[in-house]
Structure 1
């Protein structure tokens, strides 16, 4: 039995195009900014981590700007040293976005359910946050280099 597809809603199509254009512009501006300005420089326009400035501890995002700066300059090793969690989160968030878009995910259903649960993210990010502030090797390698 054949199905007749309804025509696409023009408002939904416009919204998707607008969102994709905005996202592309934001990514482009971010890449341009990271290529143009060095977050390690004293006159950097990038804000320092306020959590680290007030507490002296690293937050889960500490080092992300410097990691992305290194990444857009092709220095993958430095990027990983700055914030290793970034390289774990990107593929995981890719799987979550793939699932959210309705496309099939090449993982067992149990793994997808785990990724969609809040306890997984709380344990991953919270555990990383705690461990990167433990001043004993090997946990010191989790802090920004």
Structure 2
């Protein structure tokens, strides 16, 4: 049996900071409803300036809905964030060198930044098209 090398301190520190940020974000979304008009959460600056939906528009409301067990509303607000959250644990395990039982090709694909950038751009364009076939991608 091979001995596992300890994780570098920088990776552990990064994981702890990320974990603390996630806990703080979850706490905010449990306390504040982003659908309420008087909430302190920021609105999308891109949408306010351009009138278009960015790839992240509806993400706060989607995460709020997920935390409250409402998958349908989360999907309606931002389907891409719901799909991306499903892959986040796999990517974290990969980054921490805790290789999940995935084929190497799938791991390479998940960790390919070009795939994520292309997905974000394509989603951002498609959700702003005026045709009814793409309306489901717009928030709400």
Report the Cα offset of residue 20 of structure 1: 5.0
After superposition, where does 1:1-145 map in structure 2 within 5 Å? 12=9, 16=12, 19-145=14-140
The alpha-carbon distance between structure 1 residues 116 and 52, as it changes in their structure 2 partners (threshold 3 A), is: same
Q: 1:130 to 1:3 in 2, by over 3 A?
A: closer
| RMSD between aligned residues | 2.7
Q: Partner of 2:116: helix, strand, or coil?
A: helix
**Which residues of structure 1 form unaligned runs of 5+?**
none
- Structure 2 distance, partners of 1:92, 1:3, is 28
State the Cα distance separating 1:91 from its structure 2 match: 2.5
Q: Deviations over 1:89-113 (max 9, x none)?
A: 1222322222222222333222222
Q: Which moved more, 1:109-118 or 1:63-72?
A: 109-118
Instruction: Using structure 2 for the length normalisation, give the TM-score.
Output: 0.83
CA distance in 2, matches of 1:104, 1:133: 37
Give the CA deviation at 1:134.
Answer: 0.8
- Alpha-carbon offset, residue 5 of structure 1: 8.2
Q: How many residues align structurally?
A: 140
Quote the Cα distance in structure 2 between the aligned partners of 1:67 and 1:3: 43
- Decide which structure has the larger Cα Rg and report it: 1
Cα distance in 1 between the residues matched to 2:26 and 2:62: 12
